[in-house]
Amino acid sequence: MKLVVSVEISENCQRILQSWWEKSKQQGQLIHISDVKHLTYSELKKLMQKCGGFDLVIGGSPCNNLSGNNRTTRDGLDGEHSSCFFDYCRILELVRWISLNP
């Protein structure tokens, strides 16, 4: 991968991704952004100009983790980090807009 932009509030998850990046000997650049709220129109535009656009935008669900181990504790869209789900839609729309209106 040439460039990965990781938006992750959890420092543990940031460390896991950084560790994987280093162990897998990725040749590109990994950019960490600590909070989705920092991804404004101008910041996204700068990132897209730097990397030439995004090939893939991935969003997570606040309703469940990958293993399903949090079935008893998940709060869905009422949970602590649920606003991130709505920010995903905002970011995806901004990426589309910037791509169509360079």
Which residues are catalytically annotated?
63
Q: Give backbone dihedrals phi and psi of 33, rounded to 5 degrees, phi first.
A: -120, 125
C-alpha to C-alpha distance for 26 and 37, rounded to whole angstroms: 27
Q: Give backbone dihedrals phi and psi of 65, rounded to 5 degrees, phi first.
A: -95, 175
Q: In Å, how far are 28, 64, 87, 96 from 5, measured between CA atoms?
A: 11, 22, 15, 17
How many residues are listed for the chain in this entry?
Answer: 102
Angle at CA 41, nearest 5°, toward 39 and 44? 60
